């Protein structure tokens, strides 16, 4: 073994075991914290954990579960487990008493081994119960028993129904029993931030790049679509997301990628006349804020025809899906998408 390789190996081991030590320490600290919370509750009050740590579209899709659990346990102290980067999606939820910002799954494993919670609803399965640094998986016995995993989950309904089933909240073939319209809880700070952007009165918001390449539509076709929209319609075009891969010159286009928090992005989408985007987190914001959605979708891995949404988008009361069954999103032609967008926008919106 070379000296360089030796240093690399022990540097990796140092970071790995330091991470594990910190995770376990934080787990024991969290166990003490929630034991104290439980002692402060009345005898009949339950301490309940809801675990949906990622991704932000999934957390939005799962939001109705918080209200459903609250309706079943009106006096409970409900804790939502989430990764720190997504905590704002849960911070202002009135159905949740506390947001637990999870360091990693090892911390959660140590915490839950203390049996401090009266009920634990896991809204995820093995594939998103993993820490790369610890090399640790946490199994969900309900999901295992129902054979819900990354290869099968959309066979069990939309995301809300899948999560409710992995938690054991509803039967394996049931539909969600409560209000299935997801919500986000926008605050004055989010509105004030968007006020400062001086957005136009009439605009279409676009989200053109997901965090999973098989869901994407090629950048050059997005550029074509933006040019066509700016020429044909009385709308400005505003792009949102973490980063843009477009090269757009038209004055009708504005790039806000990477400039906003998740809930600030939600407020931009709420103010838009239309949302045009992919099956990704911002489309769930569109569903939650009530903005009409035009969603570019394709087949996804083992699912040639799937619907991730509940509520207005899921029933296509407030959205249209642009798709060809069995074809990936990348194979949708510009003309096919243009035709669907044109039908959704209508002739009354065109420039004179």
Q: Is the peptide bond before 317 cis (omega within 30 degrees of 0)?
A: no
Q: How many CA atoms lie within 13 A of 130 on its CB side?
A: 7
Q: Which helix (H) or strand (E) holds 79?
A: strand 77-82
| CA-wise closest residue to 136 among 103, 162, 99 | 103
The pLDDT value recorded for residue 16 is: 85
Burial class (CB in 10 A: 0-12, 13-18, 19+), 142: middle
CA–CA gap between residue 140 and residue 65 (Å, rounded): 17
| Three-state SS sequence of 307-350 | CCCCHHHHCCCCEEEECCCCCCHHHCCHHHHHHHHHHHHCHHHE
| 215 three-class SS | helix
| CA-wise closest residue to 240 among 285, 202, 196, 198 | 285
Neighbours of 137 (CB within 10 A): 12
DSSP character at residue 149: S
pTM of the complete model beyond 0.85: yes
CA–CA gap between residue 250 and residue 157 (Å, rounded): 41
The pLDDT value recorded for residue 7 is: 60
The pLDDT value recorded for residue 188 is: 98
CA–CA gap between residue 181 and residue 56 (Å, rounded): 16
The pLDDT value recorded for residue 12 is: 61
DSSP character at residue 155: G
The pLDDT value recorded for residue 11 is: 61
CA–CA gap between residue 19 and residue 282 (Å, rounded): 32
The pLDDT value recorded for residue 213 is: 87
CA–CA gap between residue 228 and residue 337 (Å, rounded): 11
Domains and CATH numbers, the chain: 3-166 (3.40.50), 188-349 (3.40.50.2000)
- pLDDT tens per residue across all 352 residues of the chain: 686 775 665 566 667 889 999 999 999 999 999 999 999 999 999 999 999 999 999 999 999 999 999 999 999 999 999 999 999 999 999 999 999 999 999 999 999 999 999 999 999 987 778 888 888 888 999 999 999 999 999 999 999 999 999 999 999 999 999 999 999 999 999 999 999 999 999 999 999 999 888 899 999 999 999 999 999 999 999 999 999 999 998 999 999 999 999 999 999 999 999 999 999 999 999 999 999 999 999 999 889 999 999 999 999 999 999 999 889 999 999 999 999 999 999 865 676 4
């Amino acid at each position: 073994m070379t000296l360089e390789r030796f240093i690399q190996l022990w540097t990796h081991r140092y970071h790995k075991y330091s991470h594990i030590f910190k995770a376990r320490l934080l787990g024991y600290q969290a166990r003490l914290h929630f034991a104290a919370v439980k002692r402060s509750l009345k005898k009949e009050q339950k301490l309940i954990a809801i675990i949906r740590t990622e991704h932000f579209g999934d957390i939005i899709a799962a939001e109705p579960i918080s209200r459903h659990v609250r309706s079943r346990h009106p006096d409970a102290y409900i804790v939502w487990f989430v990764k720190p980067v997504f905590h704002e999606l849960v911070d202002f939820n009135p159905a949740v008493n506390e947001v637990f910002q999870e360091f990693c799954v090892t911390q959660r494993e140590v915490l839950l081994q203390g049996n401090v919670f009266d009920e634990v609803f896991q809204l995820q399965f093995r594939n998103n119960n993993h820490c790369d640094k610890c090399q640790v998986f946490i199994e969900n016995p309900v999901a295992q028993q129902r054979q819900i995993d990354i290869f099968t989950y959309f066979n069990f309904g939309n995301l809300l129904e899948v999560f409710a089933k992995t938690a054991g909240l509803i039967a394996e073939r049931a539909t969600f029993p409560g209000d299935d319209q997801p919500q986000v809880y926008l605050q004055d700070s989010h509105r004030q931030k968007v006020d400062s952007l001086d957005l136009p009165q009439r605009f279409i918001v676009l989200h053109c790049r997901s965090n999973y390449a098989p869901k994407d539509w090629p950048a050059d076709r997005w550029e074509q679509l933006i040019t066509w929209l700016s020429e044909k319609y009385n709308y400005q075009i505003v792009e949102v997301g973490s980063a843009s891969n477009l090269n757009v010159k038209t004055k009708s286009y504005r790039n806000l990628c990477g400039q906003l928090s998740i809930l600030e992005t939600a407020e931009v989408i709420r103010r838009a006349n239309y949302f045009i985007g992919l099956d990704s987190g911002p489309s769930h914001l569109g569903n939650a804020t009530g903005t009409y959605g035009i969603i570019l979708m394709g087949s996804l891995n083992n699912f040639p025809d799937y619907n991730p949404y509940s509520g207005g988008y899921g029933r296509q009361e407030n959205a249209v899906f642009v798709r060809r069954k069995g074809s990936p999103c990348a194979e949708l032609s510009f003309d096919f998408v243009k035709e669907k967008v044109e039908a959704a926008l209508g002739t009354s919106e065109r420039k004179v």
